[in-house]
Amino acid sequence: MIKKVLVANRGEIAVRVIRACRELGIQTVALYSQADAESLHVRLADAAVCVGPPPILKSYLDVPNIISAALITQVDAVHPGYGLLAENARFVEICESHHLTFIGPSVQAMERMGDKALARQTAQELGIPIVHGSLVLEDDEAVRKAAQDIGFPLLIKAAAGGGGKGIRTVQSPPDLPKAVALARSEAQASFGDQRIYLEKFLQDARHIEIQILADRNGRVIHLGERDCSIQRRKQKLIEESPSPIVNEALRARMGEAAKRLAKACGYTSAGTVEFLLDRQGNYYFMEMNTRIQVEHCVTEMVTGQDLVKWQIRIANGEPVPLQEKIVIRGHALECRINAEDPVEFSPSTGKITAYLPPGGPGIRVDSHLYSGYSIEPFYDSLLCKIVSWGQERPEAIARMERALAEMERGNPHPFRGIPVHAPAGSRHRGCFST
Q: Which strand (E) or helix (H) includes residue 403?
A: helix 393-409
For residues 428 and 412, what is the distance between their CA atoms, to the nearest angstrom? 35
In the chain, CATH 3.40.50.20 sits at 4-104
Q: What does the pLDDT read at residue 114?
A: 75
Question: Is the bond preceding 242 in cis, omega lying within 30 degrees of 0?
Answer: yes
In the chain, CATH 3.30.470.20 sits at 206-409
Nearest alpha carbon to residue 257 among 277, 233, 239, 283 = 283
Its CATH class, for the domain covering 132-200, is alpha beta
> Which residue numbers are catalytic?
291
In the chain, CATH 3.30.1490.20 sits at 132-200
Q: Which strand (E) or helix (H) includes residue 157?
A: strand 154-158
Q: Which strands make up the sheet holding 428-429, listed edge to edge?
A: 101-102, 77-79, 4-7, 27-32, 47-50, 428-429
Span of 114-118, 263-267, 335-339, 391-395 with lowest mean pLDDT: 114-118
pLDDT above 50: residue 209: yes
The predicted-structure confidence for 260-284, as pLDDT tens digits, reads as follows 999 999 999 999 999 999 988 999 9
The DSSP annotation for 415-430 comes to ------PPPPGGGEEP
Name the DSSP class of 323. Answer: G
CB distance 254 to 283 below 8 Å? yes
> For 11-18, what is the mean pLDDT?
97
For residues 135 and 159, what is the distance between their CA atoms, to the nearest angstrom? 9
Nearest alpha carbon to residue 275 among 224, 208, 229, 198 = 208
The predicted-structure confidence for 139-172, as pLDDT tens digits, reads as follows 889 999 999 999 999 989 888 766 677 888 899 9
Q: 10 Å Cβ neighbour count for 374?
A: 12
Mean of all residue pLDDT scores within the chain: 89
Instruction: Decide yes or no: CATH 3.20.10.10 for domain 4-104.
Output: no
Question: For residue 423, what pLDDT band results from cuts at 50, 70 and 90?
Answer: very low
The predicted-structure confidence for 245-254, as pLDDT tens digits, reads as follows 999 999 999 9
Q: What does the pLDDT read at residue 274?
A: 94
Phi-psi region of 404 (alpha: psi -120 to 50; beta: other; left: phi over 0): alpha
Nearest alpha carbon to residue 197 among 293, 118, 122 = 118
Question: For residue 411, what pLDDT band results from cuts at 50, 70 and 90?
Answer: low
**Total residue length of the chain:** 434
Q: What does the pLDDT read at residue 46?
A: 97
pLDDT above 90: residue 135: no
Q: 10 Å Cβ neighbour count for 431?
A: 16
Please give the CATH topology (third level) of the domain spanning 206-409: D-amino Acid Aminotransferase; Chain A, domain 1 (3.30.470)
Question: Which residues are CB-contacts of 345 (< 8 A; sequence separation ≥ 6)?
Answer: 232
Nearest alpha carbon to residue 184 among 173, 169, 195, 200 = 195
Q: What does the pLDDT read at residue 192?
A: 77
For residues 78 and 29, what is the distance between their CA atoms, to the nearest angstrom? 9
> For 225-229, what is the mean pLDDT?
96
Question: Is the bond preceding 394 in cis, omega lying within 30 degrees of 0?
Answer: no
Name the DSSP class of 137. Answer: B
Q: What does the pLDDT read at residue 425?
A: 41
Q: What does the pLDDT read at residue 183?
A: 92
Question: For residue 430, what pLDDT band results from cuts at 50, 70 and 90?
Answer: very low
pLDDT above 60: residue 428: no
CB distance 18 to 44 below 8 Å? yes
For residues 385 and 163, what is the distance between their CA atoms, to the nearest angstrom? 15
The strand pair at 350-351 and 374-375 is best described as antiparallel
Q: What does the pLDDT read at residue 188?
A: 86
Name the DSSP class of 318. Answer: P
| CB hemisphere CA count around 429 (13 angstroms) | 24
> For 22-27, what is the mean pLDDT?
98
294 three-class SS: coil
The predicted-structure confidence for 345-377, as pLDDT tens digits, reads as follows 677 888 988 888 999 999 999 999 999 998 888
pLDDT above 90: residue 20: yes
Nearest alpha carbon to residue 63 among 34, 86, 42, 40 = 86
Nearest alpha carbon to residue 349 among 377, 389, 321 = 377
